[in-house]
Amino acid sequence: MSKPVIEVRDLTKVYAGEGDAEVRALAGVNLSIQEGEYVALMGASGSGKSTLMHIIGCLDYPTGGEYFLGGEDTRKLSENGLARIRNERIGFVFQAFNLLPRTSAMKNVELPLAYRGTPMREREKLARIALERVGLGERLYHKPNELSGGQKQRVAIARALVQDPTVLLADEPTGNLDSKSTQDILTLFDELHKEGRTILLVTHEDEVGKRADRIVWMKDGRIVPHTHAEGVGA
């Protein structure tokens, strides 16, 4: 059997609270995600799902435990090594889009490739392909203020895909969208999943979570059965 794309073992994350108090955002999480899986991470606010997502995305460090991405032990990586993984192997999609406001869709999508040092002509070619893949072939030179919310999120997805990442991480990707745009984005994720993409999506919306192959429920920093995950969807 192949190794998981994502594997976390007994992962913990502790933050300092007031005085001597500690906040245990993660309290011993074990999770494996195979190549090509589409997994939704769900739970009430404060359950630890976004903390886990940030650690999986190499945006934060765990306090304890192990995290392997594609079999590589992330604990052994330097800051530069983690930055390399973020740029080359992880595609991020956020609720707030995180687009540069005065820059065209093309230039926004090219950005990860520019950080990687990809030559300009190759960047432009790959950005165009990515934008056409998400249905924005006619919006290449539009700036974010000239795009709808759904189109902005498509630009963000194209930016995530342009580097051909090992895994696509989406944190509440439909949270700022109307119902039609939500359905459009979910259909796009369905298509990417059918193409073999590995997707981990954080959501509090049942409708969004049900599109995934598997739902992982969190409560109080732990993975729990659905019946113990009170408050989800609120």
Q: Which residues of 26-36 are buried (b: 16+ CB within 10 A; e: fewer)?
A: beebebebbee
Strands (E), 78-198: 90-94, 167-171
Compute the radius of gyration of the chain from its Cα atoms. Answer: 18
pLDDT value of position 228:
58
Neighbouring C-beta atoms of residue 234, cutoff 10 Å? 7
Q: Tokens at residue 1, please?
A: 């059997």
Strands (E), the chain: 6-16, 22-33, 38-43, 64-69, 72-73, 90-94, 167-171, 199-202, 214-219, 222-224
Residues in the chain where the model's pLDDT stays below 50: 232-234
**Which strands, in side-by-side order, build the sheet including 167-171?**
90-94, 167-171, 199-202, 38-43, 214-219, 222-224
pLDDT value of position 92:
93
Distance CA 137, CA 41 (A): 31
pLDDT value of position 84:
87
pLDDT value of position 88:
86
pLDDT value of position 219:
94
Distance CA 48, CA 50 (A): 6
Average pLDDT, the chain: 91
Overall residue count recorded for the chain in this entry = 234
Are the CB atoms for 161 and 193 separated by under 8 Å?
Answer: no
According to the 3-state scheme, what is the secondary structure of 35-74?
A: CCCEEEEEECCCCCHHHHHHHHCCCCCCCEEEEEECCEEH
Distance CA 5, CA 172 (A): 21
Closest to 69 (Cα-Cα) out of 50, 51, 82: 82
Secondary structure class of 132 (helix, strand, coil):
helix
